[in-house]
Structure 1
Amino acid sequence: MTRRDLAVSLMATQMMTAAAKGASVASDDTIRKVQDVLDRWLAAWNASDMDAMFALFRADAHWVNIVGMHWKGRAEIEQAHRVYFDLMFKGVPQSLEAIESIVPIAGGAVSVVVRWSLGAFKTPDGHRNPPSRDRMSLVLAPDGDRFVIVHGANIAIVEEAQRFDPALKAPKA
């Protein structure tokens, strides 16, 4: 199964679950536009192409990085990412594991949650981080016939904590 097949399968499951719960469902066109942003992000990351990555952002975007730094505006987001990319992430592979949700919001925008895997990297203080998984929350807004990133937050998945997630426990009857 290809990455795109996996994403489509996961989205179909999400849409059926949302429909069963009475939630709004993203259209096929919306799903395609979200997938396009994610494909372009992934290609830019893995090619170390920061120009392509930041073409995905709206000028007034905000970003909260994995350690809680809040960057305001594309120029600030880009400058900070370039510094850290050069220090830690150049050549570190990233792959899309899943699109966990796409929720339509006002004005044609969408809230998206995706899960990525990231290869090992070295932090600025020399610590070697092992391969990891992250969950990214994005707000994408329409810009012509595509979406652009207006807000992003990247959160480390703490694997050992996942078994304590109360939302994953089946409710007792």
Structure 2
Amino acid sequence: MMTTDRTAVTAVLDSLADAWGRGDADAYGAHFTEDATYVTFVGTRYSGRDDIAGSHRVLFEKFLKGTRLAHEVLDVRFLGADVAVVSTNGDTYKGDAPKKLSKVQTYTLVRDGGRWLVAAFHNTRRKPLMERVSFAFAPETKPKR
């Protein structure tokens, strides 16, 4: 069951990337629960499927026009039969996919009527230089994995 669920959960991320690549804000938004929360790497917080889809409709027409999403799943943890937390590295790009993904993302997905939907998303830009400085002065803060 967990292998099937893991496949279904990661397929949601692939489908999100596909909708993004098409610039289809409605298809992108359809992957979120009605009351989802969405935090961008600049700290903007959107609430609800309509807000997420509406903001992306404008973003796809302006700042993110012609971009694609890249993601690498780092971890999928199930917090019960109907809740999954997914950690990824990700990025937006034009042209060739980036070799290094600059963002760390957390998705919380819930099973709703047999379908997995994103209930919460948080996106943070990595600061590798700041990490190295922190780890140099406080090595015990470096993650064990």
Q: Which residue is equivalent to 1:160?
A: 129
Q: Does 1:86 align with 2:57?
A: no
Q: Structure 2 unaligned runs (5+)?
A: 95-99, 136-140
CA deviation profile, 1:138-167 (whole Å, cap 9, x unmatched)? 110002332101111111122323434533
Are 1:142 and 2:111 counterparts?
Answer: yes
The within-5 A match list for 1:112-151 is: 112-119=86-93, 133-151=102-120
1:73 aligns with 2:48: yes
Letter in 2 for 1:36: A
Query: Do the aligned partners of 1:66 and 1:155 also contact (CA within 8 Å) in 2?
Result: yes
Which residue in 2 is equivalent to 1:34? Answer: 9
Higher helix share: 1
Structure number with greater Rg is 1
- Secondary structure in 2 matching 1:88: coil
In the alignment, what sits opposite 1:59?
34
Give the Cα–Cα distance (whole angstroms) in 2 for the partners of residues 47 and 61 of structure 1. 22
Aligned residue-pair number: 134
RMSD, aligned α-carbons: 2.3
Q: How does 1:6-45 map to 2 (within 5 A)?
A: 27-45=2-20
Percent sequence identity is: 25
Moved over 4 A (4+): none
Normalised to the residue count of structure 2, the TM-score between the two structures is 0.80
Is the 1:118–1:133 contact (alpha carbons within 8 Å) kept by the matching residues of 2? no
Distance apart, 1:62 and its partner CA:
0.9
The whole-number CA distance in structure 2 between the counterparts of 1:73 and 1:169 is 35
Q: Which string of whole-angstrom CA distances, capped at 9 and with x for unpartnered residues, describes residues 71-122 of structure 1?
A: 11111122222222322111122212x21111111462011111113226xx
Aligned equivalents of 1:146 and 1:113: distance in 2?
19
- Of residues 103, 106, 122, the one that matches 2:77 is 103
Q: Is the 8 A contact 2:24 2:57 kept in 1?
A: no
Q: Given that residues 39 and 45 in structure 2 are in contact (C-alpha distance below 8 angstroms), is that contact kept between their aligned partners in structure 1?
A: yes
